[in-house]
Amino acid sequence: MKLAARMAKLGTETAFEVLARAKQLEREGRNIIHLQIGEPDFDTPKNVVEAGAKALRDGFTHYGPAPGLPELREAVAEQVARSRGVDVSPEEVVVVPGGKPIMFFLMLAVLEDGCEAAYPNPGFPIYESMINCLGARAVPIPLREENDFALDVDELAGLLTDKTRLLILNSPSNPCGGVLSKDDIDRIAAVVRDYPDLWILSDEIYSRIIYEGEHHSLITHPDLRERLVVLDGFSKTYAMTGWRMGYGVMNPKLVEHITRLQVNATSCTASFTQVAGVEALRGPQDAVEEMLRQFRERRSVIVEGLNALPGVTCRMPKGAFYAFPNVKELGRPSKELETMFLEKAGVACLTGTSFGAHGEGYLRFSYANSVENIREALGRIHELIESEL
Ligand code: PLP
């Protein structure tokens, strides 16, 4: 089978592989607790489901405008303006099927052989995968535990060069749960001003899932907006991962190019899901608040429980819904621990190296599961560590 050389450089998300193995074990009769999943375990709010079902009945079953339905682009502009305290016009918004296509389309639009792209490591695996696939040089920005997994702005300044075409930021972060402060954002803004040809992708998909402090975005720096793309969406905030809907906010001149990529790839985002998206943004927000309340409670349970395990320490994540414990004292590579926990304890989690080389010595546990299951998983891991490690 002759494939293009770029396919050999395209990575993947190993979460899907762990899920497949866990499902196989379940078919064999094993009980598995799923703490590997990057999606809320809550249902999409009822009012949103109802709006989607009604839209289907009302005939929103055809192609729609490529950059998104005008009403949804307006609702997104309102939401981003309100939450970030800036003016946003609907012409700056492109709606796509999930948050991921914004990454994919932007990277296709700006990366090529010979340029560089700086991205957080540990970080969402698709960043590194796409940078490599497009022939650019991937420059990791290490996120360090001793820095509370926040990006070190001085270090970032030393990594950028005249060849850097793209800087990727992600706050709150997957997998570390770190959050950029207002001061970090202002200092990053000062650094990137020296690189006028640099594009910035600010992945803010967890912007509403934050427990300490507030969400801050580079979008508050007006002089950077020409080359800033804010990615956000519905998957996490409204438990809508399977609906496939997200958006980018960007310079209207870039909107034209991203829209052209969308026309080539998907034509448009499903029309009825976009009608549901308007309801998600403009309707009652109590389901989001309830989800946050439960995530906050689970966060305490899992972090406390992980810290009580022999050889494990865990910082309190400030956002998203992942704990990222240090397991170096257990004396085994993270990948081996991932396999052991799944095969022997029936607990599915992810090796930190799924998120890049700087994830060695860590595991990622998603707390998108009930307090009861989290406690059971911690108990099983405790037993395994005592008996085998
Ligand atoms: N960005 C980050 C940091 C994520 O963790 C995820 C999903 O896990 C995405 C983007 C993609 O979201 P979506 O499912 O909307 O494509």
**Correct CATH for 61-282 of 3.40.50.410, 3.30.420.40, 2.40.128.720, 3.40.640.10:** 3.40.640.10
Domain limits, the chain: 5-44+286-388, 61-282
Ligand 1 contacts CB of residue 100 (under 6 A): yes
CA distance 185 to 40: 27
What was the pLDDT predicted at 16?
Answer: 86
What was the pLDDT predicted at 121?
Answer: 98
365: left (phi over 0), alpha (psi -120 to 50) or beta: beta
Residue 178 near residue 149, CB atoms below 8 Å: yes
Token pair 């305290």: residue: 85
From residue 99, alpha-carbon distances to 161, 189, 241, 367 in Å are 28, 23, 10, 21
Ligand 1 contacts CB of residue 178 (under 6 A): no
221-266 confidence digits (pLDDT tens) = 999 999 999 999 999 999 999 999 999 999 999 999 999 999 999 9
Residue 311 near residue 330, CB atoms below 8 Å: yes
What is the CATH T-level fold of the domain 5-44+286-388, as seen in this structure?
Answer: Aspartate Aminotransferase, domain 1 (3.90.1150)
User: How far is C-alpha 165 from the chain's CA centre?
Assistant: 21
Could you tell me the distance, in angstroms and rounded to a whole number, from the CA of residue 241 to the centre of ligand 1? 9
- Judge whether 5-44+286-388 and 61-282 match in fold: no
What was the pLDDT predicted at 321?
Answer: 98
Residue 322 near residue 366, CB atoms below 8 Å: yes
Q: Give, for ligand 1, the residue of 235, 243, 324, 366 to mutate: max count of ligand atoms closer than 8 Å to Cβ.
A: 235
Could you tell me the distance, in angstroms and rounded to a whole number, from the CA of residue 100 to the centre of ligand 1? 6
Ligand 1 contacts CB of residue 369 (under 6 A): no
Could you tell me the distance, in angstroms and rounded to a whole number, from the CA of residue 278 to the centre of ligand 1? 20
Could you tell me the distance, in angstroms and rounded to a whole number, from the CA of residue 237 to the centre of ligand 1? 11
Q: Give, for ligand 1, the residue of 94, 103, 124 to mutate: max count of ligand atoms closer than 8 Å to Cβ.
A: 124
12-65 confidence digits (pLDDT tens) = 988 888 999 999 999 999 999 999 989 999 999 999 999 999 999 999 999 999
Low-confidence stretches of the chain (pLDDT < 70) are: none
Cβ within 8 Å of residue 228, ≥6 positions away: 199, 200, 202, 218, 219, 250, 251
Residue type, 133: C
* pTM: predicted TM-score of the whole model, two decimal places: 0.97
From residue 223, alpha-carbon distances to 41, 124, 196, 218, 285 in Å are 39, 27, 10, 10, 32
What was the pLDDT predicted at 37?
Answer: 87
Tokens linked to 232: 């956000």
Token pair 């997104």: residue: 76
User: DSSP letter string over 6-18?
Assistant: GGGG----HHHHH
